[in-house]
Copies of this chain bind each other. A is one copy, B any other.
Amino acid sequence: MSGCDTLLAELGLNMERHGELVENLGRTYREKVLSQPDRPASMAYFDSAIHELHGDRIREIFEARAAGRKMIGTFCIYVPEEIVFAAGAIPVALCGGTAWSIPYAEQTFPREICPLVKSTLGLAFSDTCPFAPLEDLAVGETTCDAKKKTWDILGGDGFHVLHLPHKKTDAARRLWLREVRAFAGRVEHLTGVRITARSLGQAARLMNRKRRLLGRLAGFQRSAAPPISGTDALVVMQVALVDEPQRFCGAVARLLEELRRRVRQGVTVARPGAKRVLLAGCPAVAGNYKVHHVIESSGALVVANESCTGSRYFEHPVDARRRTRGGLLAAIADRYFRIDCSCFTPNDERVRSVVRMARRAKADAVVQYVLQYCHTYNMEAVRIAEALQRAGLPSLTIGTDYADQDTGQIRTRVEALIEGLRS
């Protein structure tokens, strides 16, 4: 047993199953990420960060907790990280991206629930999630039916549920602001740390920096001859959700530096004539590279990603110029309320945004990625496909889970789409 394994065993993980999980994640990562040709050397940091989610990052959080900091588990990008950091706590996204854990959820949960929720629950139920024993508070939200009811089942005092409204009216905005304030109160209560204008402003500037850097990465992705693959950009996003932000920003800055050099030297990951794809829809959290891999190993390139592990995470800075705690909390509430999750009705902003992103990235086609049984993205895909058609942009909607069984079928559909673009 390595040092980290000793720690994980002490934390009460089922080490046999955890070994299986890590082996499984490692294999997927080798096959779908490490196998890519011409990767930027600076991706080494992010590869390592993904790997150390079951190692050094756990130790780091374990030690931070020993020093009095709290860890807060999250399942959605609507949870304002600024508030968590302002109280000196550590937010970690706990969404599961692996098919491996799903059978553990299906023992007690309905099967007809999206793979992300089942994978997350399966990690909890199989005692293999290394963050679970370190979690001082879990934060759920009311985004979708499946997640909302998950909190009921997992719930209790260790769960805080953010009430996200589903219309963007003024009344809904006020409710959301109240929720954001209440969350700040809950975090203060948990940590014993008073959130101030100063700490909140610092956290907002740090998160804005992270967003800016990720925005620049997206800029490289959508350039004429992208120096980085969509799969690698996804890995960076996945690390953003779990990593220590200062260090993460440094690593992204180094990556951007390398990408700048690549552009100067004319190095691109795009094969000649490669078709450009905007991937839009559901998130692909750590462990999940399925659709990115199919698209990019079919000779096309993901030049933009409209998702919670893409543009939805880094768009719109917080107005960090506000000087008071209340003003900053309001600015934070505003920023998060701009996220155009499909849980909103109506959601015309998102329909327009997908078309705009596709044009901006000079995408040849759009692939809508819908996690199986995710009703809101699945149904919104109908409207978006219509809007894309009106805009003269070919599109394809892929509804799938985390299993590999349908990969061949998806590949056939993606290849047909790409083939159609050539003719």
Contact = CB atoms under 8 A, between A and B. Distances in A.
**Which residue, A108, A109, A175, has most C-beta atoms of chain B within 10 A?**
A175
A165 B172 CA distance: 9
B110 A345 contact: no
Contact of A382 (B110, B166, B167, B376): B110
B382 A153 contact: yes
Contact-residue size bin, chain A (C-beta under 8 Å from the other chain): 35 or more
Given A110-B378, A172-B175, A178-B171, A166 B142 contact: yes
A171 to B, nearest CB: 5
A155 interface: yes
Copy tally for this chain in the complex stands at: 2
Nearest to A140: B345
Given A148-B345, A165-B175, A375-B145, A383 B112 contact: no
A379 B342 contact: no
A125 interface: no
Contacts of A100: none
A286 to B, nearest CB: 24
A362 interface: no
Contacts of A342: 149
Given A165-B175, A345-B161, A346-B152, A146 B382 contact: no
Given A153-B379, A380-B149, A112 B165 contact: no
B166 A172 contact: no
A375 B148 CA distance: 10
Interface string A336-373: 00000011011100000000000000000000000011
Interface of A: 108-110, 112-113, 142, 144-146, 148-153, 155, 161, 163, 165-167, 169, 171-172, 175, 178-179, 342-343, 345-347, 372-373, 375-376, 378-383, 399
10 contacts: A109-B379, A110-B375, A113-B379, A145-B145, A149-B345, A149-B380, A151-B346, A152-B380, A153-B383, A163-B171
